[in-house]
Amino acid sequence: MRCNTPLMNSWHSFSPNGRWLVFSSKSRSPYTQMFLTHVDEDGNDSPAILVENATAANRAVNIPEFVNIPPDGLTGIDAPAADFYRVFNEATAESEKGRYATAIPLWTKALALNPDEDRAQTSLGAALAATGRAAEAIPHFEKAVALNPDSDEARSGLGAAFASTGRLDEAIPEYQKALELNPESAEALGNLGAALAQKGRVNEAIVRLEKAVALDPEYLGGQANLGMALLQRGEAAQAQPHLEKAVALDPRSAELRQSLGLALMEQQKGDAAIAQFRRAVALAPAFVPARESLGAALHHLQGKTAEALVQWREVLRLEPDHVPVLTQAAWALATSPSAAVRRGPEAVALAERAVRLTGDREPSTLDALAAAYAEVGRFGEALRTAQRALDLARQAGNAELAVAIDVRTALYRARSPFREKS
């Protein structure tokens, strides 16, 4: 027959009048699809015609049959499994392309057809989490875990959703269970490492993160979190290559560039650090940590206090109650060796705000306020404030700060303001 193909054809049926043949074939797919051919009065068959949309893309037509009924005798066929997998495939395609906003309604539609499909529950949870809706994702991951407790993907996703909503104590056991199910999961190792680092368990975190990047060197989350954990442990030189790799994988991340800048800054690599901070600010002008770090690098590494103050003032425009920047800016305005930079009244206003926000309990903010009072000639208040800062520093066991404040107190007693070295 002309409708025949070299590939597998099977399960054929004739129409009641003998003029049509329906059959299954793998000529266009690894799964059998349904084809029709017409047989004329002389017994010649036409080329095969594919009956499109007869099933989902990853499902087979097994035994196609003709139904001997009038044309209006069949108004519809209920095939929920085929409908579910058709929507499932559409949703999968959107998720694989990273189009999660488009995928979410498709996954919701698929679950309306079959709410007990754990893969669809997991995928909807992942799409919701990827669009910043982690709290909404949690019930879907929980449902997936209930349906399939041995799904490491569902458990890892549930852990990530818990972590995103600040529920670290619930996230860690889910990651651990995922790793019991799949010890070679770089994602679960990376997520567990990140959660442990957030809990302050940095040494445990680094062990997991090192294994994660060994399994998958291109894993962005693993490289980024390992770099940040090493930085957290004070190992800036070791953190640098991991953060550089993370920046190479995601060059438009302001947060990663800011972290790389911190690693470089810790190693006194001023120009390189400032370049990363500037790039981070350019990528995300409202990203406060990058501006704060850029200001600190300009001030401490290059002595460019005026430029630093530009960045810090912008931070305070974005976040007026940012205590570290209030303190740094007040200190620079009060103690700069350059008269062109010093602004005593502004320093007093910023430092007083920082002290109010910290409840008069932070020695570094009180130290900055004392310096600001001295700059405007209010030496009595400078002495009282410095003494309060000194007492708190000693109570906290911060001997280095206590010695520095004690030296400045002697200056204020002699009615002299404190100046940073140029």
Give residue-wise pLDDT tens across range 12-66: 899 988 899 999 888 888 888 899 999 999 999 999 888 887 776 667 787 788 8
224 and 259 in contact (C-beta within 8 Å)?
yes
Statement: residue 78 has pLDDT above 80? no
How many Å apart are CA 202 and CA 195, to the nearest integer?
Answer: 10
Q: What is the torsion angle, in degrees rounded to the nearest 10, for the CA atoms of residue 393, residue 397, residue 399 and residue 404?
A: -10
3-state helix, strand, coil in the chain (%, to 5): 65, 5, 30
H or E stretch at 33: strand 33-38
Structure tokens at 60: 């087979």
Long-range contacts of 164-169 (CB under 8 A, 24+ apart): 164/129, 164/134, 165/134, 165/135, 165/138, 168/195, 168/198, 168/199
Rounded mean pLDDT of 64-90? Answer: 77
Residues contacting residue 147 through CB under 8 Å, at least 6 positions apart: 116, 117, 118, 121
Quote the strand ranges of 244-329, DSSP E.
none
Q: List, in sequence order, every residue forming a beta bridge with 21; answer none if it has no partner.
A: 14, 37
Q: What is the pLDDT of residue 31?
A: 84
Q: Could you give the domains of the chain?
A: 1-72 (no CATH), 320-422 (1.25.40)
Q: What is the pLDDT of residue 79?
A: 57
Quote the strand ranges of 95-236, DSSP E.
none
Q: What is the pLDDT of residue 119?
A: 95
Q: What is the pLDDT of residue 376?
A: 97
Rounded mean pLDDT of 190-194? Answer: 95
Measured at the alpha carbon of residue 165, what is the angle toward residues 164 and 170, in degrees to the nearest 5? 90
Provide the 10 A C-beta neighbour count for residue 298.
Answer: 24
Rounded mean pLDDT of 351-380? Answer: 97
Q: Please, what is the average pLDDT of the chain?
A: 93
Rounded mean pLDDT of 285-298? Answer: 95
Rounded mean pLDDT of 379-389? Answer: 97
Statement: residue 313 has pLDDT above 60? yes
Residues contacting residue 90 through CB under 8 Å, at least 6 positions apart: 106
336 and 319 in contact (C-beta within 8 Å)?
no
Rounded mean pLDDT of 88-112? Answer: 94
Structure tokens at 372: 């600001």
How many Å apart are CA 238 and CA 261, to the nearest integer?
Answer: 14
| Identity of residue 57 | A
Instruction: List pLDDT tens digits, range 314-364.
Output: 999 999 999 999 999 999 999 999 999 999 999 999 999 999 999 999 999
Statement: residue 81 has pLDDT above 70? no
Rounded mean pLDDT of 57-78? Answer: 75
Q: What is the pLDDT of residue 385?
A: 97
Confidence of residue 86 (pLDDT cuts 50, 70, 90): confident
- Among 64-73, 229-238, 262-271, 336-345, which is the least confidently predicted range? 64-73
Q: Provide φ and ψ at 119, rounded to 5°.
A: -65, -40
DSSP state of 21: E
- Among 1-5, 107-111, 229-233, 293-297, which is the least confidently predicted range? 1-5
Q: Which residues of 57-95 are buried (b: 16+ CB within 10 A; e: fewer)?
A: eebebeebeeeeeeeeeeeeeeeeebebbbbbbbbbebb
Rounded mean pLDDT of 130-142? Answer: 96
Statement: residue 67 has pLDDT above 60? yes
| pLDDT > 90: percent of the chain | 82
| pLDDT > 70: percent of the chain | 97
Coil/strand/helix, residue 240: helix
Statement: residue 124 has pLDDT above 60? yes
Confidence of residue 71 (pLDDT cuts 50, 70, 90): confident
